[in-house]
């Protein structure tokens, strides 16, 4: 099975990105043919500073490699390094009903949060469909909020197949784990949109400072607390060993502790959890040519597949060379 997913370089990756998606990319590469890309074309709808976007792309590549994405097992590349996807986007655009895009809730949600309602944001699902279809993808790991876009992709592929004959492989959504709901520093879902994130590779002092500022309730120390309703415990559960998590759950059940104690344990656990990845990141950062070569080779492999699909599409709809 071929698995494909992309992640936008719109800021430094945070705990929510890792447990919500990246961790599962790493797991899926063990059993499947994986294609993972840094979605810089998509990022243009929100990042309008050229040097900042370049830095975010560098950080994204370093983070993914440090966390365990293995170029020997999966294809890692920049989205914009495969121009065939942009060509395919236009072909799909010619058979995309306006009403289909107008119903996409992600577009309406982003506009409601103040993002400019430009054509790129509106047609985002078509580019996403091209990303998926260009590699004959079978599975696309997504959160619940992106399932509609996979349905749009299937609709466009089915419509094209009906019009021109069987051309596209129809992908299936693979829902990411419910553990993707990582609480942020305010208790809401961790998201850059809410400004409540903790970055994966925060410097230790900055990490501890941010954790110590996590909002907590005002219940007395002596009160027993339900751990499953407390975001500090839920965060610790992501990092702690099973025996540590069990001990903390028991502590919550008894009461008689301060949140400062929990925050210290959380900081220790998080720092230890990412220690090896932090070291690998430093090593990759010291060898930028190696990272460039990995991305270039990934783009080469991705283009081979995308070219095959685009040629198939061009032949089907009649824009291949007539002579």
86: in domain:
yes
Structure tokens given for 66: 């440090």
pTM: 0.93
Scanning 68-137, the segments in alpha helix (DSSP H) are 83-93, 98-102, 105-112, 119-122, 124-133
Candidates 73, 181, 189, 210; catalytic one: 189
Residue 76 — very low, low, confident or very high, per pLDDT cuts 50/70/90?
very high
Residue 165 within a domain: yes
Could you tell me the CATH number of the domain that includes residue 262?
1.10.240.10
State the Cα–Cα distance between residues 170 and 153, nearest whole angstrom. 8
- Quick one: 154 and 82 in the same domain? yes
State the CATH number of the domain containing residue 76: 3.40.50.620
Give dist(CA 268, CA 154) in Å, integer: 45
Question: Is residue 21 assigned to a domain?
Answer: yes
Do 63 and 116 fall within a single domain?
yes
> Do the domain assignments include residue 225?
yes
Interval 238-285: pLDDT, tens: 999 999 999 999 999 999 889 999 999 999 999 999 999 999 999 999
Tokens of 142: 């997504």
In this prediction, residue 178 has a pLDDT band, given cuts at 50, 70 and 90, of low
Q: Summarize the confidence of residues 99-110 as an average pLDDT.
A: 82
Domain that residue 260 falls in: 202-273
What is the pLDDT, as a whole number, of residue 177?
A: 65
Is the pLDDT assigned to residue 179 strictly greater than 80? no
In the prediction, which pLDDT does 180 show?
52
Residues 258 and 219: beta-carbon distance below 8 Å:
no
Query: In this structure, are 116 and 253 located in the same domain?
Result: no
Handedness of CA 275, 276, 278, 282 (dihedral sign): positive
End-to-end CA distance of the chain: 36
Q: Are residues 34 and 146 in the same domain?
A: yes
Name the range with the highest mean pLDDT among 104-108, 172-176, 313-317.
313-317
Pairing, β 139-142 against β 172-175: parallel
d(CA 301, CA 75): 7
The answer to whether residues 7 and 96 belong to one domain is yes
Rounded mean pLDDT, 66-84: 98
Would strands 139-142 and 74-78 be described as parallel, antiparallel, or unpaired?
A: unpaired
| pLDDT tens, position by position, 1-23 | 999 999 999 999 999 999 989 99
Q: Which of 295, 275, 304, 8 is nearest to 135 (CA)?
A: 304
Q: What count of other Cβ atoms lies within 10 Å of the Cβ of residue 272?
A: 12
Which of 110, 225, 237, 263 is catalytic? The answer is 110
State the pLDDT confidence band at 121, using cuts at 50, 70 and 90: confident
110 classed as catalytic: yes
Which residue of the set 73, 181, 192, 264 is catalytic? 192
Count up the domains in the chain and report the number.
Answer: 2
Q: What is the pLDDT of residue 194?
A: 87
Nearby residues of 48 by Cβ (< 8 Å), 6 or more positions away: none
Q: pLDDT at position 146, please? A: 84
Beta-carbon count within 10 A of 172 CB = 11
| 192 annotated active-site | yes
Q: Supply the pLDDT for residue 60.
A: 98
Radius of gyration of the chain, Cα coordinates, nearest whole angstrom: 22
């Amino acid at each position: 099975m071929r698995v494909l997913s992309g992640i936008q370089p719109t800021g430094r990756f945070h705990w929510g990105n890792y447990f919500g998606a990246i961790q599962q990319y790493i797991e899926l590469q063990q059993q499947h043919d994986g294609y993972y890309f840094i979605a810089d074309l998509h990022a243009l709808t929100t990042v309008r500073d050229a040097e900042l976007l370049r830095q975010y792309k560098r950080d994204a590549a370093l983070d993914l490699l440090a966390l365990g994405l293995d170029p020997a097992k999966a294809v890692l590349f920049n989205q914009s390094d495969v121009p065939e996807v942009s060509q395919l986007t236009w072909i799909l655009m010619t058979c995309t009903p306006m009403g289909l895009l107008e119903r996409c809730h992600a577009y309406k949600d982003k506009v409601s949060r103040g993002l400019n309602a430009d054509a790129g944001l509106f047609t985002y699902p078509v580019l996403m469909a091209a990303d998926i279809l260009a590699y004959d993808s079978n599975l696309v790991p997504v959160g619940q909020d992106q399932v509609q876009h996979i349905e749009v992709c299937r609709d466009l592929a089915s419509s094209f197949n009906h019009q021109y004959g069987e051309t596209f492989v129809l992908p299936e959504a693979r829902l990411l784990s419910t553990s993707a709901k990582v609480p942020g520093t305010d208790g809401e879902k961790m998201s850059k949109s809410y400004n409540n994130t903790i970055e994966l590779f925060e410097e230790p002092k900055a990490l501890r400072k941010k954790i110590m500022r996590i909002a907590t309730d005002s219940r007395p120390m002596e009160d027993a607390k339900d751990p499953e309703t407390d975001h500090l415990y839920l965060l610790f559960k992501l990092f702690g060993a099973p025996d540590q998590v069990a001990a903390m759950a028991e502590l919550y059940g008894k009461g008689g502790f301060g949140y400062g104690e929990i925050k210290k344990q959380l900081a220790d656990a998080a720092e230890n959890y990412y220690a090896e990845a932090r070291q690998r990141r430093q090593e990759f950062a010291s060898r930028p040519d190696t990272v460039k070569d990995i991305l270039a080779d990934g783009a080469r492999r991705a283009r081979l597949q995308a070219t095959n699909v685009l040629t198939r599409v061009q032949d089907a709809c009649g824009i291949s060379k007539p002579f």
